[in-house]
Chains A and B, each alone.
Chain A
Amino acid sequence: MKVARHTLVSDGRTDANLIPIINWTLKHAAGIELSEGVQAELWRLPEKPKSITQRLVTAVDLYPCEVLFVHRDAEKESPRVRFDEIRDAFEKAAIQLSCQSLSH
């Protein structure tokens, strides 16, 4: 049985509505039979991470997962800008996380 635990990093609390859609997508597009997702509730933190990279690193620490999703509001930017921004953040976060796991 293919199972995936995923975490959603997004801009607002209402984006939790995306989780059932992600579950559906994982099932029908990726063949994941069972997926369970949570929204990273970073607003609860006393010191909220500001950059997307830091949000990704914190989300993985607080909500370990197999798949990490990022949702960003367009805010007048083109999809390309957001895509590049997220990809760049993922690359930086991956480096930070691999450094952290090596130090542990």
Chain B
Amino acid sequence: MARLTTRDDPERVYSQLANRLSGLIGSVRGIRVDRDEKRELLTLMMTGSDGTELPARALSDGTLRFLALSVLELDPETPGLLCLEEPENGIHPDRIPAILELLQDISTDPKEPADESNPLRQVIVNTHSPSVVMAVPDSSILLAKPAKDIRDGKEFAKVAFACLQNNWRAKADPKQTIVTKGEMLGYLNPAAVIRRESSTAERSRRVIDLPELQTFFPFITP
């Protein structure tokens, strides 16, 4: 952020970050950096829509991660590969599309020439979240699955990376492992997995068993 505010108008940078952050938590009026010259301390401060100002240490992990990624997205001098472990952690399910959109904005648009507005960047994330799997571009998905192989007559376990059918990955390499429809079921229909055959004991009734919520689980059948 220091680099960004040196080469550009700080107020403009803070305003861009606040706009991005609004896409996540919807209530950001502004961002600034508080300078404590005496203690030589810089503190990022976020102002909510109600005017309450919060220091970075009071923000959630998810908000801080989103903020850091927003800074990265604005900085053309940060090229290369970005690897993230389950970026959806700590983020409300409704906000997952916002962080996925941000990650796609960080990565290079392969349809445009690489330049300062489209720096060479690649993003790799791993996830177990059905919400993420369902929302990313189909050609982005590689399913890591346990596989077996034989070398020198000895069987060993390995990981195979399988792509979905009918996208450029599958067409580019005829030997590419393909994800079966069945392997995707756990990601597309997670509610069915936790469905129990019967739920008789009131004390063990779960959210998914509540009669008034049944219509909100479209993928399960009685």
Structural contact, B189 and A44, CB atoms closer than 8 A:
yes
Judge whether B207 is part of the interface by a CB distance below 8 angstroms.
no
A contact residues around B193 at 8 Å (CB): 44
Interface hit among B69-77, B119-127, B132-140, B144-152:
B144-152
Interface residues in A29-44 (C-beta closer than 8 Å to B): 33-34, 36, 38, 40-41, 43-44
* B216 adjacent to chain A (CB < 8 Å): no
The answer for the CA separation of A76 and B59 in the assembled complex, in Å, is 63
Q: Could you tell me the dominant secondary structure of chain A's interface residues?
A: loop
List B contacts of A64 (CB < 8 A). Answer: 180
Distance from B18 Cβ to chain A, minimum over Cβ atoms (Å): 42
Q: What separation, in Å, do the CA atoms of A31 and B219 have in the docked complex?
A: 41
Is there an interface contact between A46 and B219, defined as CB atoms closer than 8 Å? yes
Q: How far is the CA of A38 from the CA of B189 in the complex (A)?
A: 18
Q: Does A84 sit at the interface, judged by CB under 8 A?
A: no
- In B163-222, the 8 Å CB interface with A consists of 180-183, 185-186, 189, 192-193, 218-221
User: Is B85 in contact with chain A by the CB < 8 A criterion?
Assistant: no
Q: Which residues of A contact B220 (CB under 8 A)?
A: 46
Contact yes or no, A44 B186, CB < 8 A: yes
Q: In the complex the two chains form, is A46's CB within 8 Å of B180's CB? A: no
Interface size in chain A (residues, C-beta < 8 A): 18
Q: How large is the interface on B (under 10, 10 to 19, 20 to 34, 35 or more residues)?
A: 10 to 19
Q: Is the interface of B mostly helix, strand, loop or mixed?
A: mixed
Contact partner of B185 (CB less than 8 A), chosen from A33, A47, A48, A62, is A62
Contact A1 to B221, CB < 8 A, known contacts A40-B182, A44-B186, A63-B180 = no
B181 near A34 (CB under 8 angstroms)? no
- Using CB atoms, name the residue of chain B closest to A36: B148
Cβ-defined contact, B147 with A36, below 8 A: yes
Tell whether A1 pairs with B150 under 8 Å between CB atoms, given A46-B220, A61-B181, A63-B180: yes
Interchain CA distance A50-B115 in the complex, whole Å: 57
Q: Does residue A99 face the partner (Cβ distance < 8 Å to B)?
A: no
Contact B150 A45 (CB under 8 A): no
Nearest-neighbour CB distance to chain B for A47, whole angstroms, equals 7
Cα–Cα distance between A34 and B220 once the two chains are bound (Å)? 36
- The answer to whether A63 and B221 touch across the interface, beta carbons within 8 angstroms, is no
Query: Please, could you name 14 A-B residue pairs with CB atoms under 8 Å apart, sorted by A?
Result: A36-B148, A41-B185, A43-B192, A44-B186, A45-B189, A46-B189, A46-B192, A48-B221, A61-B181, A62-B180, A62-B181, A62-B182, A63-B180, A63-B181
**CB within 8 Å of A: which residues of B?**
147-150, 155, 180-183, 185-186, 189, 192-193, 218-221
